[in-house]
Structure 1
Amino acid sequence: MPRTIRRAVEGGKHAVPECDSLCANAPGVGVSQRVVRADRVRSAWGGALMMRPVLAMVLLVSLPMYGAPDDGMRLPRTLAWSAYPTGTQGYSQAVAIGSVLQREYRTNLRVVPGRNDVSRLATLRAGRVQFSAGGSEAVYAQEALLNFASPLWGPQPLRLAMWSIADSCSFSFAAAADSGIETVADMRGRRLTWVQGAPSLNNGSRTLLAYADLDWDDVEKVEVGGYPASIEAVINNRADVVGGGCNSPPFLRLEASPRGLRFLRMPHDDEEAVARVLDRLPWYIPHLTTEGPTIPDEGLEVFTSPYPMLVSMADASEELVYSVVKALHVHFDRYKDNAPGANGWALERQHFERAFVPYHEGAIRYWREIGAWTDAAQARHEENLERQAVLQEAWVAWQSQVVRDTAPSGEDGWLGALRATWAAWMQGMPSDAETFEQGWLKARRAALEERGMVTIADD
């Protein structure tokens, strides 16, 4: 490429200062990603391109890097999403997908590992990433449950793009083979990991304990600092059982350790046990897993849920979400075998009508475009939108009630109301997080029950 043109592409003095809204808002985007129009190019470079029509055509085609102009796709040069820590199934899948995006669109997928649920979604809410590829924390954030029941969070307007349901499983119990534990009932009195700042993992464990009518009080809780640390705790004989995805790479380390690895059986013919699990987490499904270390050839009866779930905020660019979903679907064959569980992103495993979080309009646009979006999917989507609205209204009403109950009185007018509200927030809001959470959970349950909606076990 001639030096003058190369300097323009790299942001030299002749670069064209034009970028559409998507480019302008994308993290890490520079001049090299800007969409250059022919008339601006001629103006900036005078007659240079007129003398080199062939080179001009090549430049105009190669500069955007957002996808071909006739396919409706516009991918930024840099895309970011949060995921579980390095070495996990979700992180490995993100890396495999990123490799395809780089080859096909020259889009760099920056995977931001988060050690817990809050950190993964905090970066999403703050706009530092455009997507989060996590697990059930997306539902808990929507519902304002567990760590998201604090005044700093509340119900989050998340939107689903797509998900993965792999042949393995999203979350199950794995015990050290030398522990003698083979079923959930055998876990009574034994050591189970509890991950700090990871309510989705811990509630997943509590939910699977319910299969045998157990709870955290029936086991010995071993607190660890993150998901990888939970595997280490079992390897180092600080714990006996850990929860995680059946095909999660860290389990290979446990399998290779002197303690060994065994996944626990959860037979589906015990209807009461299955009902206890689904009462706590209705988006879980009975599942026959066929992938994972030590999983027998005939499979193992467990439970699973979508993981990863690729979510964005409701105000994410429709064009961006559409483009990402389309890229993941069109190039599925290019990454499905390149990471554990990546085959779960297949179209036939999306199950739109079973989602518990509403879809983003950009995703719906693509699924409808290829004929995959059904009336049942739309009905479920609208139910989920209504649920989010009910939760948001309940949250506002609950906080308003706290303000009314604690605000000082005696000053009328809007200024008095403002001062009262400020005083309430600074002094009167429950300083005890548990007190605030319990009050919100009661208000939340009442609002959902009034509308005949499932409350999800939160006791």
Structure 2
Amino acid sequence: MKPLFAAFAAVTLSAGMATAQDINLPQQLSWTAYDTGSAGYNQAVAVGAALQDAAGINLRVLPGKNDVSRTEPLRQGRVQFSATGVGGSFMAQEGAFDFGAENWGPQPVRVLMANNGGAINLAVGVAGDLGIETYADLKGKRVAYIVGAPALNVNTEAYLAYGGLTWDDVTRVDFGGFGASWTGLIEGQVDAAFAATNSGNAYEAAAGPRGLFWPPVDPDNAEGLAAMQAIAPFFLPNLAKVGANIDGTEGYQGAGYPYPVLVATEETDEDLVYNMTKAMVELFPAYDGKAPGIGGWALDKQEMEWVVPYHEGTIRYYTEVGVWSDEAQANNDRLIERQAVLKAAWDALKAEAPADWEAAWSEARRKALADGGFEVVF
């Protein structure tokens, strides 16, 4: 899977000229996003300002403390879209972690776009007053764990694995939300927490009394990377140029993945998704530069063959502008088939009503994926 790096001249030339007549969206839109101060929230607000200026559209951004609280309003139809991460996209699709609970299950998630900027990393930052230089140095330290946010916790676990550690090697400190974990780092309740390097919380920590340090990820450390990707296969080494204590430097060698990811559900109206995608692409010049790391929403940075399928409305727009390929369609079809296999396994298990749901679903899920010839993750 490689990012699409073609030149989209026709779209780029018309993008800055998008008008109210070009954007056929409701006057009131609602997204969920990460907590206030997060990169996802700040970028959603910037998109909302562009929609307001271009077409008088009001984008209401509802902050959610964790993956479940961001996804529940989408599932209930109380918001049209969610600017989420791998938790509300990949893990929701997989019915994994909190989405494996009996009242959840595999979700029919569909992608519109994702921020693949590469300018930021998604990393575990540590308090700068500890003298930590590597992730192995976190042994015995206090590490944040976000209740109800499996994506954040798996990511933290992946960084621990890179350092040869597990949760058993550190002191786990539970928090109710992403923002609270970083407040805890600043106020001395915890020593390490996960975030996008351009998160407002990370900037606040860097300016705080303890300071902030991002331990490096060596792209030549094959053993460490293998351990990291065994936990979170979506991670890749990346040199970040944007973020707390990173801006204006030669960069921070860490790791990253698409974030935020704008998603809908399979049932979301195709025309609505088509026009939301169109607005994201054609208003890009209006919101580019208005929040740290926001440039990754550019059309030429989209990963058309990712791990979660695209919505039919988005595919229609991408086809019209000439960026959708047969390979992307084949990948999309296979991902939809994967979702169907997971849903069938879920429905069959629900009919059996096992006493130990968690154990039974874990086994049934993995077996269904293996039997279908799909990669087994988690």
TM-score (norm 1): 0.76
**2:293 maps to which of 305, 327, 341:** 341
Do 1:167 and 1:291's aligned partners in 2 also have CA atoms closer than 8 Å?
Answer: no
Match of 1:76 in 2: 26
Q: Does 1:315 align with 2:236?
A: no
Q: Does 1:363 align with 2:314?
A: yes
Q: Does 1:286 align with 2:237?
A: yes
AA matched with 1:301? Q
Alignment of 1:54-133 (within 5 A): 67-68=20-21, 71=22, 73-133=23-83
Shift of 1:167: 3.7
Do 2:118 and 2:256's aligned partners in 1 also have CA atoms closer than 8 Å?
Answer: no
Match of 2:98 in 1: 147
Runs of 4+ in 1 over 6 A off after TM superposition: none
3-state DSSP of counterpart to 1:179: coil
Shift of 1:247: 0.5
AA matched with 2:35? P
Whole-Å Cα distance in 1 between the matches of residues 143 and 320 of structure 2?
Answer: 46
**2:122 maps to which of 152, 166, 171:** 171
AA matched with 1:149? G
**1:202 maps to which of 150, 153, 158:** 153
Shift of 1:443: 0.5
Alignment of 1:242-321 (within 5 A): 242-295=193-246, 297-321=249-273
The CA RMSD over aligned residues, in Å, is 1.4
Alignment of 1:410-425 (within 5 A): none
Do 2:121 and 2:239's aligned partners in 1 also have CA atoms closer than 8 Å?
Answer: no
AA matched with 1:251? A
AA matched with 1:309? V
Shift of 1:359: 0.4
Match of 2:284 in 1: 332
Shift of 1:236: 1.4
Alignment of 1:434-445 (within 5 A): 435-445=356-366
Shift of 1:67: 4.3
Shift of 1:197: 1.5
AA matched with 1:214? L
Shift of 1:212: 2.0
Whole-Å Cα distance in 1 between the matches of residues 337 and 238 of structure 2?
Answer: 29
Do 2:74 and 2:82's aligned partners in 1 also have CA atoms closer than 8 Å?
Answer: yes
Q: Deviations over 1:31-66 (max 9, x none)?
A: xxxxxxxxxxxxxxxxxxxxxxxxxxxxxxxxxxx9
**1:185 maps to which of 124, 136, 139:** 136
Which fold has the larger relative contact order, with Cα–Cα distance below 8 Å and residues 6 or more apart in sequence? Answer: 2
Whole-Å Cα distance in 2 between the matches of residues 283 and 243 of structure 1?
Answer: 16
AA matched with 1:436? W
Among the aligned pairs, what percent are the same residue? 42
Whole-Å Cα distance in 1 between the matches of residues 331 and 138 of structure 2?
Answer: 37
Shift of 1:286: 1.6
Q: Does 1:227 align with 2:178?
A: yes
Shift of 1:370: 0.6
3-state DSSP of counterpart to 2:113: strand
Whole-Å Cα distance in 1 between the matches of residues 80 and 295 of structure 2?
Answer: 23
Whole-Å Cα distance in 2 between the matches of residues 83 and 362 of structure 1?
Answer: 21
**1:389 maps to which of 308, 327, 340:** 340
Do 2:97 and 2:150's aligned partners in 1 also have CA atoms closer than 8 Å?
Answer: yes
Shift of 1:338: 0.3
Whole-Å Cα distance in 1 between the matches of residues 230 and 352 of structure 2?
Answer: 30
* Gaps in structure 2 of 5+ consecutive residues: 1-18
Select the structure of larger CA radius of gyration: 1
Q: Deviations over 1:273-301 (max 9, x none)?
A: 11222222222222111111212722222
Residues matched between the structures, number: 358
* Gaps in structure 1 of 5+ consecutive residues: 1-65, 403-428
